[in-house]
Amino acid sequence: MNNGAKIGIASAATVLLLAGGYGAYALVSGDDAKDAAKKPRTVVSEPPSPELAASGAKAFLDAWAKGDLFAAAKLTDDPDKAQAALQAFHDNVKPSAVHLTVGGPTTAPSPAASKSAAPSASASAPSTAAAGPTGVLESFKASLEFAEAGSPWNYDGVLGVVKMSDGTAAVHWAPTVIHPKLDATETIGIKPVFAAPAAVTDRKGKPLAGYASLTGLLNQLKAAAPQGGSPEDAGTAVVISPASGNGPAEKVFTLKEPKPVPNLKLTLDADLQAAAESAVAAQGKPGSLVAIEPSTGGILAYAFSPTTGQNRAFSGATAPGSTLKVLTAAALLEAGITPTTSMPCPETTMVTGKSIANDFKGAHPEYTLTDAFINSCNTSFIEKGKDVLKANSLPSLAKDVFGIGLVWKTGLSNFDTDIPVETSMAGAASEFIGQGKVRANPLGMASIAATVQSGVFKQPILVPGMDQVKAARTLSPDVLSSLRSLMTQTVKSGTAAAVKPALPSGSGAKTGTAEVDNSADANSWFTAYSGDLAVAAEFQGAGHGSAAAGPASSKVLAVGNRK
């Protein structure tokens, strides 16, 4: 504490003069020299009478209020300690006037005396500690004025009074005499104070505390929140602080209010966040979900389970399965394929020596692009992709149109979806169905759905006004219209039609079932949009996209983007 002074022992020889508005007093006088030869004045075992206690308390308070600190200290049972502490209080708190009034006998100890008293089975132990071994307690009221404060600092105090060997009364000295919350390990003085760190709220000003998935984000933002540290933002207050400098300080009186720190509003929406947390938890499996506003890129909600583990919504890196067929379909459409172009669906096909099958039995030679997309035929996409696309077609389109491959700064640590450029068509074929070396998370897949909905990539962000990287181009109107048609038809009559609860009318979606090495059960994936809201979800080992990720996404889409 810069201005605080530790309440401690100071030899009278170290203080020669008291200055300021409190006058000047010689510490060693002729009378004192005579007194020194007398028998030392000590505390006796007999408590003072009520009248003696009241007069002793009044005499001490009157001397302190007048600024006669030397006289006040002599009216205690430890003048050296009292002198040092009263002088430090005067120097560091700097009141312009002190008014002290005796209140009368009391049995209530001061707060600091209670907390510093040794543990005891006796209920009277705190009072004994405050009053001294043979003393009684007297209450008083303090009112301190300050030139820079509009109102006085008022507080109630308690002091102990003991009887001395010369028959007089003395105040039993303790730091609590100065203020009831002060103890011997603390200092008191005026310090600069700043407003509390800014609260973090959703976009509507609602608090975000209590959402388990947001704990890491809120802790990070709290640590980085504006502290009002510049001098022009500071107020001033009387503060009690640990003398060691370690531990929290307590403000006991404000002289000047600090400049308030504005709340930090995020793009999150508390209603959607609640829906996301509930939807993810309801699946009972490790998973995550992200909701994005396509028109702005604002992240409206994210949730993950278990909440004590990795934030897999942002940092997960697993194959997204057939949800990536949204990108493959866009690449095929740009290559000249139309929704009605023939795309036969054989029962199996070979990729790098491995037989790839579909989630359903039988071959469908009659399939078009629309059929292959809404029924999620792996073999159709692999065969047609090898015919009309290049090994770098998918990663190039993903970066240039959907921002996948650019570095995102969302406001929270995240893994950027990765679609590597393969050196051969054999390697690229697995990427056409979201397998192979592709790694993604719901943040990336929700952004893909958001780009389809809005037609323009808006990089996801958590804090309004953050820099957002831009994609190089957009899809042509015809390609964008066809891609949206494929996703809406998937909801009407494709794999997303089985999702319960049903998606809102007009939604577009794509299911995904991602095979994972060394796992018997596939991961469930889903990405969709409805109005100005896009979501993506994944659940580990939960099977088909319509079985877990779809219902979780549908529940969030049902809440809608109510601005």
- Distance from first CA to last CA of the chain, Å, rounded? 47
Tens digit of pLDDT per residue, the chain (563 long)? 333 333 332 332 222 222 233 333 333 344 554 554 567 889 999 999 999 999 999 999 999 999 999 999 999 999 999 999 999 999 999 999 999 999 999 986 655 444 443 333 333 334 446 666 688 999 999 999 999 898 999 999 999 999 999 999 999 999 999 999 999 999 999 999 988 878 899 999 999 999 999 999 998 887 776 666 678 889 999 999 999 988 888 999 999 999 988 889 999 999 999 999 999 999 999 999 999 999 999 999 999 999 999 999 999 999 999 999 999 999 999 999 999 999 999 999 988 778 889 989 999 999 999 999 999 999 999 999 999 999 999 999 999 999 999 999 999 999 999 999 998 888 899 999 999 999 999 999 999 999 999 999 999 999 999 999 999 999 999 999 999 999 999 999 999 999 999 999 999 999 999 987 667 789 999 999 999 999 999 999 999 999 999 999 999 999 999 98
Exposure of 416 by Cβ count < 10 A (0-12 exposed, 13-18 middle, 19+ buried)? middle
Beta strands of 112-215 (E only): which ranges? 136-145, 153-163, 169-172, 186-193, 200-201
* Integer Cα distance of 316 and 416 in angstroms: 9
Q: Is the pTM of this model over 0.95?
A: no
CA–CA distance, 118 with 113 (Å, rounded to integer): 10
- Separation CA 211–CA 203 (nearest Å): 15
Instruction: Please name every residue paired with 352 in a beta bridge, in sequence order, or none if there are none.
Output: none
* Residue given tokens 């007069």 in the structure block: 55
Tokens standing for residue 166: 């010369």
Domains and CATH numbers, the chain: 1-30+38-112+128-219+237-262 (3.10.450.100), 270-559 (3.40.710.10)
How many Å apart are CA 387 and CA 371, to the nearest integer? 18
Which DSSP letter does residue 402 get? H
